[in-house]
Amino acid sequence: MFSTIRNRKGFTLIELMIVVVIIGILAALAIPRFMQASMKSKQSEAKGILKQIYTMEHAYRQEHDVYVTDLNTIGVELQPQPPRRYGYVIALNGTGFTATATANLDDDATIDTWTIDDGGILQCTVNDVTG
């Protein structure tokens, strides 16, 4: 007698749990890749400024016949501290120089380190992205 058809609206608990599990799996795959891509983009700051230091050092040497260690002397202007991630140091070695950029990109023990020398060789000596 009371065989009325129930009006089924909504989702069952099992269906909702399956959706949550799928979203969790996708997040577990996507978040590490996003973090690595984000840190690689942060490394582009160091590459760009080190290339600028290289160019400005050579321009300064053309006029004054020496390399210098002061960024302001060669005209490299860095952004204020909050957006800047790296610290920059220029060291003289004989007749050349080596500029170094260092930063801790992900708050672990590894310090990301990039260098460029007077020959224009840009290299990552310690990579904080890969660990």
- The two three-digit tokens of residue 73, written as one number: 């002397």
pLDDT digits (tens, 9 = 90+) for 38-89: 888 888 888 999 999 999 999 999 999 999 998 888 888 777 666 678 889 9
- Phi/psi zone of residue 60: left (φ > 0), alpha (ψ -120 to 50 degrees), beta? alpha
Contact 83, 76 (CB under 8 A): no
* pTM recorded for the entire structure: 0.73
Give the three-state DSSP class for 50.
helix
